[in-house]
Structure 1
């Protein structure tokens, strides 16, 4: 049952049939409930787009809060809503079921502060060094904070650095373990004023170490590994029995079953994707 707390012309609060009425950030909202039918291809694509976007932003909560907070101020939206909307619409590539992130289009902050000149990133011993032009102007303050986001798609262990340096320093160093330093890295940098009232658009500093394996490639490699492990076990047994029988096939049910599985797995390995190298 729904309640019209503000009279018959007011917004309902509660359930009427398969509709639910409620308030969200001060706005009246209604949504449909009930059992869903079989999803269409467009719906499946939408689900994957949302899943890929959510996974991208899952380790960036604090960065997104600062990067989109000013846009969200005074609206019914929050920073995460705005970031999700942007990336779902602008930062995806590919078609279902192979939708993925285009890291060159990722924007982790959006604002009016001008872009900083001469942004560069370099792998050095023990980590990454990022440099920029430290010149300050009326719009670019010497005490602006530097925010850096290091995305690690292969492991999902992204790293946020929300106040790693000041603009006046002209550089910062990010320590990383060797295994992290040598995997796919997608780095971003933003600048935010000391009072938090102005932020720049984030800048993509470029891919490091090339592209890692996709989820599909990882699944294919794992499937190949499992089949190869089973095949190696059977092959050893199969060849041993042939050797014991002087190269002749034993006329037994057990041997015939062994040989059949051996040949099936051998054929699978010849055609399965995910083979090393």
Structure 2
């Protein structure tokens, strides 16, 4: 309950009817109470929050990597937020409330540099080896472009990433995987970044692998 201190025209503090009174630096003020939202948790709102949550969970382990992979899209938003927006718009599957991420539609790097060609993946020896054809010399691809490698473990919410991997002309890169990842389904991505860091390629999804 509010208290009127100087009559009906004076200052007051607290709530009186539909207004709230108070003072700031000796100046009395009053404001109307905010209107209550009739349904603050509509199905549409909960649906969007659910999509946002699963996208955040999927991308968060690669936050540092995405700063490089999506840096060309950081003009009006952060690289991570750019990746979030793209994933929300392109990689969500299912119907409310059973949403999921389609890993093959996620881009962990994005740009106009020529992407990897004829990719493959091998899991022998306890490591993951990513392989690709050397397509340097085609379009804007150069032999010295560096691999952008991301191996994501969505089960544990962890990732092994490299933003300055093997050169394009090398054709492969081996990645050491934590021992406690054995038996987990992992998602593998490969992109490229130019030697000067000014150009980035769209990532390629190499598939799900289990060691």
Give the SS at the match of 1:206.
strand
Q: Distance in 1 between matches of 2:99 and 2:35?
A: 28
Shift, 1:89, TM fit:
1.1
Counterpart of 1:122 in structure 2 is: 122
Equivalent residue runs for 1:42-57 within 5 Å = 42-57=44-59
Counterpart of 1:200 in structure 2 is: 201
Counterpart of 1:235 in structure 2 is: none
Q: Distance in 2 between matches of 1:39 and 1:208?
A: 38
User: Are 2:96 and 1:90 equivalent residues in the alignment?
Assistant: no
Query: Over residues 11-62 of structure 1, what are the superposed CA-to-partner deviations in whole Å (9 max), with x where a residue is unaligned?
Result: xxxxxx79xxxxxxxxxxxxxx886543111110011011111111111112
Aligned residues: 178
Maintained 8 Å contact 1:45/1:95: no
Equivalent residue runs for 1:142-221 within 5 Å = 142-209=143-210
Match of 2:65 among 60, 63, 66: 63
Task: Rate the CA distance shift 1:168–1:96 in 2: closer, same or farther, 3 A.
Answer: same
Shift, 1:208, TM fit:
1.6
Maintained 8 Å contact 1:134/1:169: yes
Maintained 8 Å contact 1:112/1:199: yes
Q: Distance in 1 between matches of 2:133 and 2:199?
A: 19
Counterpart of 2:132 in structure 1 is: 132
Q: Distance in 1 between matches of 2:119 and 2:199?
A: 19
Maintained 8 Å contact 1:93/1:100: yes
Give the SS at the match of 2:163.
strand
> Structure 2 unaligned runs (5+)?
1-30
Greater shift, 165-174 or 75-84, is seen at 75-84
Q: Which has the larger radius of gyration?
A: 1
Shift, 1:112, TM fit:
0.6
Give the SS at the match of 1:85.
helix
Shift, 1:178, TM fit:
4.5
Task: Rate the CA distance shift 1:47–1:166 in 2: closer, same or farther, 3 A.
Answer: same
Q: Which has the higher contact order (CA 8 A, sep 6+)?
A: 2
Shift, 1:116, TM fit:
2.1
Give the SS at the match of 2:207.
coil
TM-score (norm 2): 0.77
Give the SS at the match of 2:117.
coil
Counterpart of 2:21 in structure 1 is: none
Q: Distance in 1 between matches of 2:115 and 2:194?
A: 13
Give the SS at the match of 1:158.
strand
